[in-house]
Amino acid sequence: RTDAGVHALAQCAHVDLPDDRFSAARWTEALNALLPPGIRVLRCQYVSKDFHARLSPKGKLYRYRIWSGAVLPPFEYGRAWHIPRPLDFEVLKTSAKHFVGTHDFAGFAANRGKQEKSTIRTIYSVRVGRNGPCVTIDFDGDGFLYKMVRLIVGSLVQCALGKLCIEDVNGRLASGQLGPARFAAPAEGLLLVRVRY
């Protein structure tokens, strides 16, 4: 599942069935016949009884898209955060590296109304790329807290716009505490690329 406004390229769901009388391919065909054109089932497969789509992942890959140009093309509307000002790309890249590793990300999580068992997560890599005005930030990690990627991107952009120092971001990351002036990037730029099982 994703939060409102967040897109997904590949998402996994599971269903507990009483038997396996239909083939996985037949399930794929039947489900796609019932779904609207904007939602597709790419593949079905039978898995072990202990598999759970939400609880079994070993990691996730998220991509955040920013359009840093004067005009947002219509096809990018709802799929990228439009920032019509130049970003300091080198500051963005350098700042992103500080999030790699195992940290207490409590300072980069929002309250969902329930207590997290742990706010410690591992980010294996953060890759920042640019193709013209389109900036992408890929986060590969073992798991993510509620709004964690959006809060990290919000901080990175504030650094790239000269509104926040990376030392402030590092301080929040090191303390594991909520800090002042937290800003979450809009949901529309966030994309769940892959879930690893």
Domain edges within the chain: 59-196
pLDDT of residue 179: 58
pLDDT of residue 6: 82
Whole-Å CA distances, 122 to 139, 178, 179 = 10, 18, 20
3 is catalytic: yes
| Regions in the chain scoring below 70 on pLDDT | 1, 178-181
* CA neighbor of 64 nearest in space, from 154, 146, 161, 137: 137
Does the global pTM surpass 0.75?
yes
* Dihedral-angle region of residue 101 (phi above 0 means left; psi in -120 to 50 means alpha; beta otherwise): left
Strands 101-104, 134-141: parallel, antiparallel or unpaired by DSSP? unpaired
- 3, 16, 19, 142: which is the annotated catalytic residue? 3
Two tokens, residue 192:
């769940």
pLDDT of residue 20: 82
Two tokens, residue 92:
């963005």
CATH among 3.20.20.140, 3.30.420.270, 3.40.190.80, 3.30.70.660 for 59-196:
3.30.70.660
Whole-Å CA distances, 118 to 31, 39, 77, 113, 170 = 36, 33, 35, 15, 20
